[in-house]
Amino acid sequence: MEKQVVVIQDLKKYFPSKQGPVKAVDGVDLRVESGEIFGFLGPNGAGKTTVLRILTTLLVQDSGDAFVAGLDVKKEPNKVRSHIGYVSQSGGVDRPATGKENLILQGQLYGMNTAAATARAEELIRLLDLSEFADRIVNTYSGGQRRRLDVALGLMNRPTVLFLDEPTIGLDPQNRANLWEQIKKLQQEGTTIFLTTHYLDEADALCDHIAIIDNGRIVAEGTPEELKKQIAGECITIGIDNFEEKAPEIIPLLKKFAFMREVNQDGDHLRLYVDDGAKAISEVLELLGKQEITLKNITLSAPSLDDVFLRKTGRSLRDLNAKEGKEK
């Protein structure tokens, strides 16, 4: 088996628009190793789905190369399709049939005979814990049940790699946690998973490897631990009264502290990356007091993937998600 299941080299896809071309994917390089859960993390409109659609042969790139299971997606789309499963954001099924019937039909569409399709459907019903509802008509399913059936549908042809576009969007915390468990189980069964997500906690908890995309370009890549290590030390977040007026006054003073590595503005908060959090907090509080600045809130935390995103892009992914109503 290929060690690298997905290889992308200088991939570009621009869409025409009245304001000039939208650079949806603007020179992306990526590698996904066999057996890993790979997370493609980025805000709304960053280019995640466009890359996914190219990899799953639904869209052709303008330039650059993409290989899935060693096959060129542009030159051999049919062969690529036989190696992949794809679960889109909207999901697939809308037939007035049960989950199990939908699975069998999907298998038959892949060319399986009824016996083979039924056996595979039963295997997936066990693996993904669908037995409670597999014999019910699909339009009676909850959002979480629907999502799990979508994942099973994507697995009918035993794909080398399963592409999941925002698998947990719109799910409540319990259903999200359940789907994460199922995704981990699939990995243990040997499937490589390529998923897109807006959610920092999802990428952190689930993925072996992450690429962060913004405006069609990869801004950071590595394991969650590697990425967070780039932001050494601890993070103090402070909210102050009269932020607009006071922040420009206080930032240069904060930067003078020997323990201060970096000061970032995040909406109406300051994020201070420091060496020794406890000591730093007391000195920061003393400085605010001297400057007669009123503190609204202060927290100390370990650096998160959002800190990585903020450093690379100057914006907070958590804030962007909140604006889009996608906060977790």
Ligand X SMILES: Nc1ncnc2c1ncn2[C@@H]1O[C@H](COP(=O)(O)OP(=O)(O)OP(=O)(O)O)[C@@H](O)[C@H]1O
Among 29-37, 39-47, 131-139, 245-253, which window interacts with ligand X (CB under 6 A)? Answer: 39-47
Task: Tell me if 56 contacts ligand X by CB under 6 A.
Answer: no
Contacts of 114 (CB under 8 A, 6+ apart): 104, 108
What's the alpha-carbon Rg for the chain, to the nearest Å?
23
Among 27-35, 38-46, 60-68, 133-141, which window interacts with ligand X (CB under 6 A)? Answer: 38-46
**x/- letters, 182..221, toward ligand X (CB under 6 A):** ----------------x-----------------------
Among 47-55, 181-189, 217-225, 264-272, which window interacts with ligand X (CB under 6 A)? Answer: 47-55
d(CA 84, CA 29): 20
Task: Tell me if 42 contacts ligand X by CB under 6 A.
Answer: yes
Among 41, 48, 281, 304, binds ligand X (CB under 6 A): 48
d(CA 200, CA 204): 6
Both tokens of residue 236? 């103090």
Q: Where are the alpha helices (DSSP H) in the chain?
A: 48-55, 77-83, 99-109, 114-127, 143-155, 173-188, 200-206, 224-229, 243-255, 277-290, 305-313, 317-323
Among 46-54, 93-101, 128-136, 183-191, which window interacts with ligand X (CB under 6 A)? Answer: 46-54
Task: Tell me if 310 contacts ligand X by CB under 6 A.
Answer: no
Our CB check for ligand X shows the closer of 199 and 273 to be 199
Residue 62: other Cβ atoms inside 10 A? 13
Q: Is 270 exposed, middle or buried (0-12, 13-18, 19+ CB in 10 A)?
A: buried
158-168 exposure pattern, b = at least 16 Cβ within 10 A, e = fewer = ebbbbbbbbbb
Least Å from the CB of residue 45 to ligand X: 4
Our CB check for ligand X shows the closer of 198 and 271 to be 198
Residues 5 to 24 in contact with ligand X, rule: CB under 6 A: 15, 22, 24
Among 39, 47, 91, 159, binds ligand X (CB under 6 A): 47
Applying CB under 6 A, the residues found at the interface with ligand X are 15, 22, 24, 42, 44-50, 198
